Amino acid sequence: MMNALIELLRKYFCDFKEEELERHFVGTHQEILRAVKDKDPERARDLMASDILEIKRHVEKEG
């Protein structure tokens, strides 16, 4: 399952044409990193789960 997700991410993230969306995802990943650095596993987990769902919705929408 993880390999399939990685392939989807490669396909769509290597082709980002929406600068605002790219900034959004970079910001989200910075928040995840901050939660990890702050040793807040619950927040990191919640942010990661939210990020994955958001990416999934974006990928499905873009087809």
Is the distance from CB of 47 to CB of 31 less than 8 angstroms? yes
- Structure confidence at residue 16 (pLDDT): 55
Q: Print pLDDT tens along the chain (63 aa).
A: 557 766 666 666 655 566 777 788 889 999 999 999 999 999 999 999 998 888 888 777 766
- Structure confidence at residue 56 (pLDDT): 82
- Structure confidence at residue 13 (pLDDT): 60
Angle, alpha carbons 24-48-45 (nearest 5°): 140
Distance CA 16, CA 44 (A): 24
- Structure confidence at residue 25 (pLDDT): 82
The pTM of this model reads: 0.67
Is the distance from CB of 35 to CB of 50 less than 8 angstroms? no
Is the distance from CB of 22 to CB of 16 less than 8 angstroms? yes
Q: What single-letter DSSP state applies at residue 60?
A: H
